[in-house]
Chain A
Amino acid sequence: EVQLVEAGGGVAQPGGSLRLSCLGSGFTFSNYEMNWVRQAPGKGLEWISYINNIGTTIYYADSVRGRFIVSRDDAQNSLYLQMNNVRAEDTALYFCARGDSTGYYYADIWGQGTLVTVSS
């Protein structure tokens, strides 16, 4: 079964850090682009980061650029999101999502999400 499982969420203080991880299984992780998408409580989806299959192309939304860092370890079938200098507005459910392999720029497989709460 193709699956993505996120971990690492929790409570962080404003200005603090968290590292999220996403473990892929059931597919050849190294062949796929990966993404992070978040959803604030009661709000819609926001695409925040993308990394291509070899880690050479990375994009960030303006809302997180300079604070968040995406990376991947294909040997561990894992995607990471290092969240630094977090703010209250970063409170959200964070999903990792597999990018399509057709060049259409969509996400075909999603994890169940990990909740990040930023609060003092």
Chain B
Amino acid sequence: QPVLTQPPSVSGAPGQRVTISCVGSNSNIGAGYHVHWYQQLPGTAPKLLIYGNNNRASGVPARFSGSQSGSSASLAITGLQAEDEAHYYCQSYDNSLSATRLFGGGTKLTVL
């Protein structure tokens, strides 16, 4: 069963830079399918953050950026702020899955 692997948790102090990795395989990211990132604040629905590997969704601050290389992708957050504390999920298309869309397990970002 294909997976997108994310670290369960990351943390950083206000103002710092953090990155969240998303490791896939040849049936998803490695096959050239784009990676997208969602932010889920506590008690709320997910919100699109980054689409198409590195495009910020409408209204998303420039502090958030995405990148992709090979079968992996990363979300970077610079100038960390308290309100960035949330769960972050990567997502891609997978050509071996019946549902076709695949989420990473999610990463909890804690702002120290």
Minimum CB–CB distance for A17 against chain B, Å: 21
Interchain CB contact under 8 A, A102 and B52: yes
Q: Choose from B46, B92, B98 the contact partner of A62 (Cβ within 8 Å).
A: B98
User: Measured between C-beta atoms, what is the minimum distance from A98 to chain B in Å?
Assistant: 10
A112 at the interface (CB under 8 A from B): yes
- Chain B contact residue count (CB 8 A cutoff): 28
* Residues of the B chain whose Cβ atoms lie less than 8 Å from the Cβ of A1: none
Q: Which of A50-77 contact B (CB under 8 A)?
A: 50, 59-62, 65
- Are A48 and B99 touching (Cβ within 8 A)? yes
Instruction: List chain B residues, Cβ under 8 A from A47.
Output: 91, 99-103
Q: Which residues of B contact A102 (CB under 8 A)?
A: 51-52
Seen from chain B, the residues whose Cβ lies within 8 Å of a Cβ on chain A are 33-34, 36, 38, 40, 44-48, 51-52, 57, 87, 89, 91-93, 97-106
Supply 16 further A-B pairs (C-beta < 8 A) apart from A44-B87, A100-B51, A104-B34: A37-B103, A44-B105, A45-B46, A48-B99, A50-B99, A60-B98, A61-B99, A97-B46, A102-B52, A105-B33, A105-B34, A105-B93, A106-B34, A106-B36, A110-B46, A112-B44
